[in-house]
Amino acid sequence: MRLDVLTLFPDFIDHSARIGVVGRARERGLIDIRCWNPRDYASGNYRRVDERPFGGGPGMLMMIEPLRACLAAARAAGVTAPVIHLSPQGERLTQATVRRLAALPRLLLLCGRYEGIDERLIAHEVDEEISIGDYVLSGGELGAAVLIDAIGRLQEGALNDADSARQDSFEDGLLDCPHYTRSESAGTAGVPAVLLSGDHAAIARWRRQQSLGRTWLRRPDLLARMSLDEADRSLLASYRRDWLAALAQPSAAGDGD
Ligand code: 9D3
């Protein structure tokens, strides 16, 4: 997959995409990332890339000419990808959106700085606006890096066997179960007995129950959108019973882990 990123901070995108699974995907040629910097298309000695908004106010906007020239240069170099603007006004990113975008052959990610970009450029050039969550960042680069990471690891061949075998949190709509390392020094104290039992069916049941229970406790919004089968409903019911029983004995109250 080819990813073009329009950004005033190409080094940030470059460095973050060199790490871990995505870095490996890049080395294997599964993703190809190119950055386009509006500053390279700014004019004058100062190569300004910000300007004041109509209507006044304290903030600056990204200057429109370098943005337009930068986009035009990418297009002239053959970049025909759909344009995604990382923006606080965008639709919130979900794993479903990540899956849809990861299946495309190319994308152009547009990162804003300052208070953002001219609405006319958004109207004419942008296909989709995406936010990574309800908090305030200082620019779109972290959003682009998040998107690149989530998309990169889904490219065919990016994950090793251990990674792919693992069920992803959110892929099946549930949070992950707790994990415990096989550490000599930490020993087995505090490790749930079932994980030491060697009973693989019981372990799978326990893990599923923990996933269901933690989702119920921490992300009821995720659970509300799922339809559980009989086995899951029964696992969750017994998790709830144990959790409510633990509430009656305050010393044991917790996550039920
Ligand atoms: C006057 C209000 N502005 C600043 C507090 C609005 C504002 C402008 C520009 C808020 C943030 C930004 C820069 N943010 C992004 O470019 C961004 C973002 C984000 O802030 N939150 C979540 N996802 C994203 S994706 C891009």
CB atoms within 10 A of CB 54: 7
The closest-lying atom of ligand 1 relative to the alpha carbon of residue 135 is 21
User: How far is ligand 1, taken at its centre, from the CA of residue 244, in Å?
Assistant: 41
Q: What is the CATH number of domain 2-152?
A: 3.40.1280.10
Q: What is the CATH number of domain 193-254?
A: 1.10.1270.20
| SS3 assignment, position 204 | helix
Ligand 1 pocket, residues with Cβ under 6 angstroms: 86-88, 112, 115-116, 131-133, 135-140, 143
* Contact present, 3 and 106 (Cβ < 8 Å): yes
Tell me the domain boundaries of the chain: 2-152, 193-254
Q: Which residue has the tokens 């080395």?
A: 27
The closest-lying atom of ligand 1 relative to the alpha carbon of residue 132 is 23
Predicted structure pTM score: 0.93
User: How far is ligand 1, taken at its centre, from the CA of residue 25, in Å?
Assistant: 29
Give the DSSP H/E element, type plus range, for residue 98.
Answer: helix 95-102
> Can you give the pLDDT of all 257 residues of the chain as single tens digits?
999 999 999 999 999 999 999 999 999 999 999 999 999 999 999 999 999 999 999 999 999 999 999 999 999 999 999 999 999 999 999 999 999 999 999 999 999 999 999 999 999 999 999 999 999 999 999 999 999 999 999 999 999 876 664 555 556 899 999 999 999 999 999 999 999 999 999 999 999 999 999 999 999 999 999 999 999 999 999 999 999 999 998 775 555 45
Spatial separation of the C-alpha atoms in residues 47 and 105, rounded to whole Å: 33
CA distances from 252 to 219, 241, 244, 256 (A): 22, 14, 11, 8
* Contact present, 216 and 239 (Cβ < 8 Å): yes
